[in-house]
Chains A and B, each alone.
Chain A
């Protein structure tokens, strides 16, 4: 087997294994740590797909940002998170129906799509192409996403600020 194929299976196993652990774990902090490995595995898969920029972004945003905030949130908000914080399973039936439906949909897409193998001719271009696309073709969505984030930040600030005249 080729080295890249071995790496692909290793990282797939890492991604799926830690995702499964995350779902079935009762301890919420352990689940969060499992999520890190799952997302890093996804980043590694991106690298294998010659999408190095996306991979680095995945790590920077998810591992460096979101997961730290999740852990931070768990640790700051709960006083006795070490022992009593457990996840419980609720809405068993609707959840399994929904996920089953999504799985069927994904399988359908996977089976019906016409897969073609393309050889990336030049892997140097990803950054340049991405920048060009963001600044020309998709400028409006890009800007709207920026405005949305700004609104979210202002909203978060408003929610977290305590007003002095209110009790």
Chain B
């Protein structure tokens, strides 16, 4: 895709910038419609309709209107806040989510940076999310923010372990960290004659790995039932309490971008990335992008569906789930995946 852009745009620097801006546009468009979709899903699950007025069909322009409102809002910085860090944190959190999209293979024709350590880089760069949340919470100089920040730190550091171990169990099956190579390895429909060569079908223990990955993914992107950093009913809004206007909007955007990122990572690792489920039928760069987004959106939908079903865990339950269930299970599962790979 970069070559194509360089052909149509005279300056190669501009072509590079346009190339790099593609995920940003994707995140922005996705966030607008994901927030709308979240409200609609919440409404439908509760037998309501959700937003219906703005923009005609089922209120599709609701989030756009909300964004316009947020832009116009006053930017309030508390007097006793640590001003520089307070201003920096929202940008840092969004930069971190955006930077992680660099290694996601959106289609066979588009990947930001085809580096060999793709999966590792992605896991590393998301640790900036944690640090920016801690930064926001400390800089706000507010007890709710601080408690939210501490919870985030504890939660994300703990849940990083099962996430990494489950990702690692896919990596030993693929024996590569390059997300593009991992996706290419899943091309074709050879399992039992018709099933696609996705990793989740290749190894029975990878199904368990996916379940573990999905649970820790919910915790990593702090979604219900692990939304303790924000828990509205206990902590006002957690680390976002003191934020207003567009700075708060950046947090919201980063949260949704994070959801998308982890869903797309899950789709790449377990569900064949941009591969079509029907072999060569409807495959190709553009179709591939469609399939990839469809898989990602399905995971996002499940995350939203869970949000409107389950209640929130307590802090001690959260830690218990991670340290005494998920981590041992993921390690055992890791060994089993490796054994299966050795034997078959």
Interface residues of A (CB under 8 A from B): 29-30, 33, 36, 40, 52-53, 56-57, 59-60, 63-65, 67-69, 71-72, 75-76, 82, 124, 126-127
Contact = CB atoms under 8 A, between A and B. Distances in A.
Interface string B114-141: 0111001101111110110011001001
Nearest to A62: B127
A29 B124 contact: no
A61 B127 CA distance: 9
Given A29-B138, A30-B85, A68 B131 contact: yes
Of B115, B117, B124, B150, most buried by chain A (CB within 10 Å of CB) is: B124
A49 B266 CA distance: 31
Nearest to A40: B128
B157 interface: yes
Contact of A59 (B85, B124, B157, B177): B124
A20 to B, nearest CB: 16
B205 to A, nearest CB: 23
A144 B225 CA distance: 40
B319 interface: no
B154 A52 contact: no
B146 interface: yes
Contacts of B153: 68, 71-72
Of A29, A64, A65, most buried by chain B (CB within 10 Å of CB) is: A64
A84 to B, nearest CB: 14
In the A-B complex, list the 4 residue pairs whose CB atoms are closest, starting with the nearest.
A64-B127, A60-B124, A56-B124, A59-B124
Interface string B87-131: 000000000000000000000000000011100110111111011
Contacts of A64: 124, 126-128, 130-131, 157, 160
A76 to B, nearest CB: 7
A76 B150 contact: yes
B131 A56 contact: no
Given A60-B124, A68-B157, A76-B150, A52 B131 contact: no
Nearest to A71: B134
16 contacts: A29-B138, A33-B85, A52-B116, A56-B124, A59-B125, A60-B123, A63-B127, A64-B127, A64-B128, A64-B130, A65-B127, A67-B131, A68-B127, A68-B130, A68-B131, A69-B157
Q: Taking chain A's interface residues, is the majority helix, strand, or loop, or is none over half, making it mixed? A: helix
B82 A30 contact: yes
B138 A126 contact: no
B128 A59 contact: yes
Interface residues of B, number: 28
Nearest to B154: A72
A30 B128 CA distance: 16
A105 to B, nearest CB: 32
Contact of B120 (A36, A56, A71, A72): A56
B150 A72 contact: yes
Contacts of B115: 52
Contacts of A63: 124, 127-128, 131
Contacts of A60: 120, 123-124, 127
A40 B82 CA distance: 21
B121 A56 contact: yes
Contacts of B117: 52-53, 56, 127
B181 to A, nearest CB: 11
A129 B221 CA distance: 34
Contacts of B135: 33
A36 B153 CA distance: 15
B141 A124 contact: no
Nearest to A67: B131
Contacts of A75: 138, 146, 149-150
A65 B150 CA distance: 14
A57 B157 contact: no
A59 B99 CA distance: 13
Contacts of B123: 60
Contacts of A65: 127, 157
B214 to A, nearest CB: 21
Contacts of A59: 124-125, 127-128
Contacts of A68: 127, 130-131, 134, 153, 156-157
Contacts of A30: 82, 85
Contacts of A76: 150
Nearest to A74: B138
Given A64-B127, A64-B131, 20 more contacts: A29-B138, A30-B82, A33-B135, A40-B128, A52-B115, A53-B117, A57-B124, A59-B128, A60-B120, A60-B124, A64-B126, A64-B157, A65-B127, A65-B157, A68-B134, A71-B134, A71-B153, A72-B150, A75-B150, A127-B116
Interface string B138-169: 10010000100110011011001000000000
